[in-house]
Amino acid sequence: MLEQGQSFDALVAGFRWDLPARLNMAAQACDDRAAREPERLAILDLSDGAARHITFGDLRRMADALAHGLAARGVSRGDRVGVLRSQSGWTAAAHLAIWKLGAVSIPLFKLFGQDALRTRLTDAGARLVVCDAEGAGLLDGFDLATLVPEDAYLPAAHFDTADTGHEDPAVLIYTSGTTGAPKGALHGHRILTGHLPGVEISHDLLGQPGDCLWTPADWAWIGGLFDVLMPGLALGVPVVAARMAKFSVADCLDVIERGGVRNVFFPPTALRMLKAADARIPGLRSVASGGEPLGAEMLDWGRRAFGLTINEFYGQTECNMVASSCAALFAPRPGCIGKAVPGFDVAVIDAQGQATAGEGDIAVRRGAASMMLGYWNRPEATAEKFRGDWMLTGDRGVIEDGFIRFVGREDDVITSAGYRIGPSEIEDGLLTHPAVATVGVVGKPDPLRTELVKAYVVLKPGFTASDALADELAAHVRARVAKHAYPREIGFLDALPMTVTGKVIRKELKARATRERESET
């Protein structure tokens, strides 16, 4: 854990990665603490309605039992094993069991269709999938073995955890595929260590007495698995497991109350839904959010709704938790995503790979513990991800006094009349209008300006799309954001294309805008 009582600058200056030569995440997240504190609460499982208290001793027994079951089915070191389950104690145990064997876990989302599942499992060469009954049904017709864990397995004997190094493969997490076919980011056992500083920082030094951690994000995603579940276990902070097929404000409030939750990772979409419902959640100690910039309006609302400042963090599947805000250590800067987390060298670089004071590519220096080993079976794609000693995030930004300001995805930046315009600030401006529920902004091809700013808006109930409202929204942004960056066209949609993690797929909106332009000529 980060040393308490230090300034942020002191934490950065004194930080060194502690990566022992021999490291296994099953021991780091569970076994070591189970040996010391077997009765300490690890997971409060609300996934089946009733509350089930799972101690570290219980969790180790569950993982040992599953490891025996996997070994009996021929799983061994290096084999890839899928985990197709929602949040639950057995889901955590499944990953731990796979790592105990020295095998590689593949988190899988239950809302995937069969084509998406087949693509990932085939690409990974998976040997078996740990699932529940519903997951087994999703895999019907696959030439693949499944294992459904049950409490009856628990009397199994102790299972010796494999002797692995921190660079040995442990987890294969597929990207969302918003910029092409999904790629598997292969991570070593050091990935958990690599997440700890950022998770602690984003929750105002997580690990305080009474802390209890939860996220509505599915554990199939890096944000659920390594921003919440595994760091919580490694830090000894109880984690709440709650099955939410679809986010709802009422269910969210219920989970927080029943689970005694004090620390939450809310994806931006969840925050917007809470804001639209004017929800108030007292009693929380920290709220973290990542995936998209929130903007000053959302931060102001968060202070009213939670009585605290939301900490934004930044990262991606290939190298996560690289930057964060931390209200306990420094005041946030609206429009920025925080500062580089201790242990991470984050820079904005130019086309030659040199740091630049202006806008450039946000990049992370090699050597960070949460950085992937590489893309699974894609050496060319891995090479393209790097520019010299820097891993490219694919995002554009600037650094101001140590604060990282996100401009947009490299392919999202809008070039209009000589200006380079990031969509996030325009989206934030539109979200301050009372009629707007959610929005996506892209560049639409334009013969005069190269591109014009086009906004696609989903309205809140009670508002009706009209030319007058479109003019009002454009004027609203022109007044609040910039005279050159307001949306010259606004389209109204019933819903925006979203990834399963709640991010707007601007690539699809961009294609829609291009089709509109083609139909006009």
Tell me the average pLDDT across 407-433: 80
Tell me the average pLDDT across 212-225: 94
Pick from 129, 492, 463, 465: nearest CA to 276: 463
Q: Which domains does the chain have, with CATH numbers?
A: 20-29+56-189 (3.40.50.12780), 411-520 (3.30.300.30)
Residue type, 273: M
pLDDT number for residue 417: 73
Tell me the average pLDDT across 475-483: 83
Residue type, 60: R
Strand (E) or helix (H) holding 509: helix 506-520
The DSSP result for 416-444, as a single string, is ETTEEE-HHHHHHHHHTSTTEEEEEEEEE
The Cα-based distances of 294 to 205, 312, 406, 433 in angstroms read 21, 8, 11, 15
pLDDT number for residue 499: 79
**Contact status, residue 249 vs residue 274, Cβ threshold 8 Å:** yes
pLDDT classification of 267: cutoffs 50, 70, 90:
confident
pLDDT at 178 over 70: no
Query: How is residue 264 written in tokens?
Result: 């939450």
Please give the Cα distance from 255 to 416 (Å, whole number).
45
**Contact status, residue 95 vs residue 225, Cβ threshold 8 Å:** yes
Please give the Cα distance from 124 to 186 (Å, whole number).
10
pLDDT classification of 152: cutoffs 50, 70, 90:
low
Q: Could you tell me which residues come within 8 angstroms of residue 330 by beta carbon, excluding any fewer than 6 positions away?
A: 8, 339
What pairs with residue 82 in β-bridges?
106, 129
**Contact status, residue 457 vs residue 492, Cβ threshold 8 Å:** yes
Pick from 87, 72, 99, 86: nearest CA to 153: 72
pLDDT at 273 over 80: yes
Pick from 167, 211, 180: nearest CA to 41: 211
**Contact status, residue 453 vs residue 485, Cβ threshold 8 Å:** yes
**Residue length, the chain?**
521
Tell me the average pLDDT across 14-24: 94
Instruction: Indicate the pTM of the whole model.
Output: 0.84
Q: pLDDT tens digits for 459-470? A: 999 999 999 999
Pick from 392, 311, 390, 293: nearest CA to 345: 390
Query: How is residue 276 written in tokens?
Result: 């639209």
Tell me the average pLDDT across 315-333: 95
The DSSP result for 101-140, as a single string, is TT-EEEEE-TT--HHHHHHHHHHHT--EEEE-HHHHHHTT
pLDDT number for residue 122: 95
Query: How is residue 69 written in tokens?
Result: 């079951």
Tell me the average pLDDT across 54-62: 97
pLDDT number for residue 309: 97
Tell me the average pLDDT across 503-521: 91
Query: How is residue 215 written in tokens?
Result: 């996220």
Q: Tell me, what DSSP letter sits at residue 142? A: -
pLDDT number for residue 501: 66
Q: Are strands 80-84 and 104-108 parallel, antiparallel or unpaired?
A: parallel
Pick from 288, 447, 319, 493: nearest CA to 390: 319
